[in-house]
Amino acid sequence: MDDPAYRRLEEWLTRLGTAAVAFSGGADSGLLLALARDACGGRVAALTLVAPYIARQEISEAIAFAAELGVRHELIELPMPQSMEDNPPERCYLCKRALYARLTDVAEGMGFPAVLDGTNLDDLKDYRPGLRAVRELGILTPLLDCAIAKADVRRISRALGLASWRKPTNACLLTRLPFGQRVAMPTLQRIEEAERVLIGQGFDWVRVRLHGGAARIEVARDQRARLLAQSESVVVALKALGFHHVTLDLEGYRLGSMNEPAG
């Protein structure tokens, strides 16, 4: 492929020779895994986190993606760390610290000396405390090292025919809760099911954020009018799940909106 970003990443991975990829099934780790498979001559494995705060649909899609690529795929169980039970502002750091310590142990046991993370250049623009854990534990970040941004990831993935090229950025279900809220499994399940309802109605870029008993829905800006047109059925479905109020965020889908100041 005559693409400078692609060539940089391919050369980086070829020099590495073998690696285990922290694989969520999203666009970033999906591209990383696909290129590592080819550049490392098949000496690659996908390691996917299975935790109470990861949507089941994401796990299913990661399994299907890895199977399509024909790479070795391991699911790594991780219980809710006690330090995250109150959804603290540093939850991403605490999660990544626990996750990558576990992945490093698993990778070493499988004979892989390095673990690769899909952080891209645009991630530096957002609140990402998990990056500190990545650096502390010596996790490799090929996309970042090769100055590859999200637009590059999507362009290359599309050219390679990867289904993940337009997949929305995924994030754990804890990002739907305000900082400091006690995490309860029924709450996470209700949020996950609410998003599943909306995805089933064709809203692929969607978040359901929780505020007390209210659901704040974010969809892509060009889908807001359609959501309003379907609001009656959406309200019925989400109230049946236990939400007392259902609202539409007029700013639309955006990353990290729970990190924004309330004032």
pLDDT in tens, 187-236: 999 999 999 999 999 998 999 999 999 999 999 999 999 999 999 999 99
Q: Using an 8 Å Cβ cutoff, are 25 and 32 in contact? A: no
Domain boundary at 166, 196, 221, which? 166
Q: Using an 8 Å Cβ cutoff, are 180 and 87 in contact? A: yes
Co-location of 42 and 161 in the same domain: yes
DSSP code, position 123: G
Co-location of 150 and 190 in the same domain: no
Range of the domain at 207: 184-259
Co-location of 155 and 219 in the same domain: no
As a whole-number percent, the residues of the chain with pLDDT over 70 amount to: 98
What is the pLDDT, as a whole number, of residue 2?
86
Give the tokens for residue 244: 């007392």
Q: Using an 8 Å Cβ cutoff, are 191 and 210 in contact? A: yes
Is 261 or 46 the better-scoring residue by pLDDT? 46
| pTM, rounded to two decimals | 0.90
Domain boundary at 96, 131, 166, which? 166
DSSP-derived pairing of the beta strands 19-22 and 44-50:
parallel
